[in-house]
Amino acid sequence: MALTGLEIYKLLPKTNCRECGFPTCLAFGMKLAAKQADLSACPYVSEEAKQALEAASAPPIRLVTLGGDDHKFEVGNETVLFRHEKTFFHQAGVMVRLPDNLPADERNAKLDEILAFKTERVGIDLFLDGVAIDNASGDANTFAEAVAAVRAKTNRPVILLSSNPQALAAGLAKEGGLSPLIGPATEENWQDMVKVAKDGGASLIVKGNGALTALANLAEQVKAAGMEDIVLDPGGRTLTETLTQFTQLRRLALKKNFRPLGYPIIAFAGEAADSFEEEVVAAAQCIAKYASIVVLDHFDPAAAYVLLTERLNIYTDPQKPIQVSPGVYEFNSPKPESPLLVTTNFSLTYFSVAGEVEASGLPAWLLITDAEGMSVLTAWAAGKFDAERIAKAVKTFDVPDKISHQKIVIPGFVSTISGELEEELPGWDIRVGPRESVDIPSYLKNVWK
């Protein structure tokens, strides 16, 4: 059971020495209870107290790492049910299933396609996290060959899927020791699976039959056998079952601090679907609530783009907008007489504007001001995108040295600051541009000229 802040406080030294970074032991105890501090921050906790506090200080959902140093991702260690409460920390890994019984040519072509997929959104590269190699053949040698073929092409994390411990052992022998995830361990095979996972340095999927009590018992047995890095598959395979079980698992881990179910969750989206479209819907649902790893049966670039964008939106910190660096950006080889536009450093704003300027094919300068990562209207309302800041950016980034005119185009939404900007930039022609970035190309073609 989780300890309250007061219970934790009773176990602390009570000297209020502040070395933990908190003003009092009580404040530190409260933070520990809320999972917002680490016990190791206090150097004076006794061994006896440490043991009692371990349960309280351990993360409610275990952190599990897949992959080696080149490519790895971590899942778990979440502390809130809803993103707006704080943030989600470890984004769901999105992987694609690769059956081992595909002809080698087909398998390699599919793998190449998965590995080559890369797209970009607000300046962040998005790609798939790895593949789940499925022992669909049922044959250990075929499985090992498929694992070796994958490893010959990539160091990205892999999941090895088989109900046969011998096949998994054969696959692990070819995997390369890059912390894979294997499984599933079930009521029938968990002892053998634990041994194979421990021998191969792998994490283990523990699969239930839909009943969470049975899943908790199984996870406890697996843990008692020495397997700490567990990923749960509660067993539901419809949208409703998946949503219900995943939500219950997350709630039990975070709200009840129920350790037997405090592990990341894996979803097999294709198994919850009758069509490719349903698979994408299932994957989207699981990314939103509360899968840590989503395995797709099919790879499609459009679907991957949608799912990775959804993931990006959910896993960005709501308190830290994604920003680009303030400065002057060049598009289409601008010359001194080319137009100068200005906007804020909120990534979505920058990439919307930059995309349109670039697509216009016309040369232009884009001045990005430091608006603390806010969009144009939000920044204007917060006093972070005003005449003073724009004028300061013009000077800071030596704009007059780059252009031969004194004209600046401000976003249409902040036309009201044009008068103030004229005062801040004497002699400059302040022009009001379009409200929406989509209208920038026609503005540059028709109005600027």
Residue 60 C-beta: closest distance to ligand SF4, Å: 21
Tell me how far, at minimum, the Cβ of 19 lies from ligand SF4, in Å.
Answer: 4
| CB nearer ligand SF4, residue 29 or residue 183 | 29
Q: Which amino acid is it at 153?
A: K
> Rounded to the nearest whole angstrom, what is the least distance from the CB of residue 6 to ligand SF4 in the complex?
14
Contact criterion met (CB below 8 Å) for 96 and 60:
no
Q: Which is nearer to ligand SF4, 38 or 436 (CB)?
A: 38
How close are the terminal C-alpha atoms of the chain, in Å?
70
Q: How far is the CB of 1 from ligand SF4 (least distance, A)?
A: 22
The least CB distance from residue 119 to ligand SF4, in Å, is: 46
From the CB of 318, what's the least distance to ligand SF4, in Å? 29
Cis upstream peptide for 23 (omega within 30°): no
The three-point CA angle 66-69-70 to 5° equals 100
User: Whole-number minimum distance, CB 30 to ligand SF4, in Å?
Assistant: 11
Give me the least distance between CB of 426 and ligand SF4, in Å please.
56
* 184: Cα within 13 Å, side-chain hemisphere: 19
The amino acid that residue 289 corresponds to is: K
What minimum distance in Å lies between the beta carbon of 89 and ligand SF4? 24
- Rounded Cα distance, 4 and 28, in Å: 12
Whose CA is closest to 186, among 139, 233, 144? 233
> Distance between CA 87 and CA 32 in Å, rounded?
18
Select 55 or 381, whichever has its Cβ closest to ligand SF4. 55
Q: How far is the CB of 14 from ligand SF4 (least distance, A)?
A: 7
In the numeric block, the tokens 């206090």 are attached to 42
Identify which of residues 17 and 211 has a Cβ nearer to ligand SF4 in the complex.
17
Q: For residues 30 and 421, which CB has a smaller minimum distance to ligand SF4 in the complex?
A: 30
For residues 57 and 142, which CB has a smaller minimum distance to ligand SF4 in the complex?
Answer: 57
Positions touching ligand SF4 (CB under 6 A) are 12-13, 15-20, 22, 25, 28, 42, 44
- Is 20 or 362 the residue whose CB approaches ligand SF4 more closely? 20
Angstrom distance (rounded) from CA 17 to CA 24? 7
If the CB atoms of residues 19 and 436 are measured against ligand SF4, the closer one turns out to be: 19
In which residue are the tokens 């190449």 written? 112
Looking at the Cβ atoms of 46 and 247, the one nearer to ligand SF4 is 46
Q: Which CB sits closer to ligand SF4, 40 or 313?
A: 40
